[in-house]
Chain A
Amino acid sequence: MSAPGLSDASRPAIGRGFRLQWESAQNAWVLLYPEGMIKLNVSAGEILKRCNGVATIGQITAELEQAFSTTGLKTDVMAFVAMARDKQWLALP
């Protein structure tokens, strides 16, 4: 599966005006933005914390597959990055 403008080589970064942060009180990664907050589920947090503008989607996928001892995550990662880009949580420099 692929989304327009996205490929294995894309290097997503957290979007301008958003801040990703681990909150122990909520036991979750959260995205903070002006006067608001999104509490992320585990997989969203695991993907977003790797989106540093340096790692490619390919590398992020490989890392996740290794961390969770699994394979075939690429479709899910791609779909999430596309959704997060639409919401401006992620930017693709």
Chain B
Amino acid sequence: MSGGAPPARPGPPLWLLLELTYRCPLHCVFCYNPTDFARSGPELDTPQWLEVLRQARALGAVQLGLSGGEPLLRDDLETLVAQAHRLGYYVNLITSGVGLTEPRIRALKQAGLDHIQLSFQDSTRQMNDFLSSTRTFELKSRVAALIKQHEYPMVLNVVLHRLNIDHVGEILEMAERMGADYVELANTQFYGWAWHNRQHLMPTRAQVERAEEVTRRHRERAARPMRIFFVVPDYFERRPKACMNGLGSIFLTVTPDGIALPCHAARMLPGLEFPNVTSASLEHIWFDSAAFNHFRGDAWMKEPCRSCPERARDFGGCRCQAFLLTGDAANADPVCDLSPHHRLVTEAVARAERLPAAERPPPAAAEIPLIFRSPANSSKLFP
């Protein structure tokens, strides 16, 4: 068997993610936003976002994520939600909760917002506030209550990593107390700021196994049906994820400055000119642009993916991870143990094993090069 099949005409971009702004009141060390966001172009204005919504819906997009940065920092959020609702999208707001006041949640509900996913950084004020470099824990707890009060399903997202993964039990208890319906325990994937801070955030295998065990026990004795999703960190797997179901197959992201991407991390991929929605139609971008066609099908693959019987299942894994770890986005995702670069992953995990245990935040952030996501740090990294 060999690769090389030309890409078939793709189906519609069913999933549309609009990153409305890179501005964010939080400074999370694991954010996947690009570390050079400070030098991105100006944000699209309201008519431009409305036009993106219209064009994507005409192509068949139906699930809409409104994200950022913090989407609540856009004061036209209600306008965008209302238009999206009228067009027939299922509208998901992905938020830190900062800025979600009673009047705003009421207005968003009225505009037709279907769902709110609220992020927490940890179960305690100390760790939540440390990891986001803000004082937001109590505010988030109030927002969680507001979400319930307005009869939204309560969906909590907690990004796990070395510094908080040992608190999974407490995090689940916090979620129970808040009346969460779903909890997503998403282990950090290493892109953007998380890639930069990888050494600090990489858990040990023992930590991951313990967290899985705690989650399993919690599921068994939970009094009410709170659904828990535990997303295992890639680096501890031996086969890669079917990232984005293959680039350019169902997923379309638009960055705050209007760049269309086949995945929210893809902006970093070198050699691809991702088109801007202000200068090309989404139809052209999705079906005809070189950047979106580049990783469709399997003609781009190298060995061992090219002749691998599993290539139709995982599409060679994540292009961004392949690029970050090996310098070539067309290589197999090194998470795969068939990849000749797999040791880059196992060595990163092994390094984590050698570091001292991280039970609590370091005494002073300044003593260690853990970089918080902020415009100032972005400018420092990319002067």
Partner of B90, one of A19, A24, A25, A26: A19
Across-interface contacts of A23 in B (CB, < 8 A): 60, 62
A34 touches B14 (CB 8 A): no
Interface check B153, CB cutoff 8 A:
yes
Interface check A83, CB cutoff 8 A:
no
B residues contacting the other copy or chain, number (CB 8 A): 17
A32 touches B155 (CB 8 A): no
Q: A77 CA to B374 CA in the complex, in Å?
A: 56
B60 touches A35 (CB 8 A): no
Chain B nearest CB from A66 CB (Å) reads 29
- Count of inter-chain pairs, beta carbons less than 8 A: 42
Interface check B59, CB cutoff 8 A:
yes
Flag A14-52 by CB within 8 Å of B: 1 or 0 each: 000101010111100010111111000000000000000
Across-interface contacts of A36 in B (CB, < 8 A): 63
Identity of the chain A residue whose Cβ is nearest the Cβ of B58 in the assembled complex: A25
B88 touches A21 (CB 8 A): yes
A residues contacting the other copy or chain, number (CB 8 A): 14
Identity of the chain A residue whose Cβ is nearest the Cβ of B184 in the assembled complex: A35
Chain B nearest CB from A25 CB (Å) reads 3
Q: Which of B31-69 contact A (CB under 8 A)?
A: 59-60, 62-63, 65
Partner of A30, one of B59, B62, B117, B153: B62
Interface check B346, CB cutoff 8 A:
no
Residue in A19, A23, A34 whose Cβ sees the most chain B Cβ within 10 Å: A34
Residue in B59, B63, B65 whose Cβ sees the most chain A Cβ within 10 Å: B63
A35 touches B62 (CB 8 A): no
Across-interface contacts of B90 in A (CB, < 8 A): 19, 21, 32-33, 37
A37 touches B14 (CB 8 A): yes
Flag B6-49 by CB within 8 Å of A: 1 or 0 each: 00000110100000000000000000000000000000000000
Interface check B311, CB cutoff 8 A:
no
B62 touches A37 (CB 8 A): yes
A34 touches B62 (CB 8 A): no
Identity of the chain B residue whose Cβ is nearest the Cβ of A23 in the assembled complex: B62
Selected A-B contacts with CB under 8 Å, 9 pairs = A17-B153, A23-B60, A23-B62, A24-B60, A25-B12, A26-B11, A26-B14, A34-B155, A35-B92
Across-interface contacts of B14 in A (CB, < 8 A): 26, 37
Q: A85 CA to B90 CA in the complex, in Å?
A: 21
B60 touches A34 (CB 8 A): no
Across-interface contacts of B65 in A (CB, < 8 A): 35
Across-interface contacts of A34 in B (CB, < 8 A): 92, 114-115, 117, 153, 155, 182
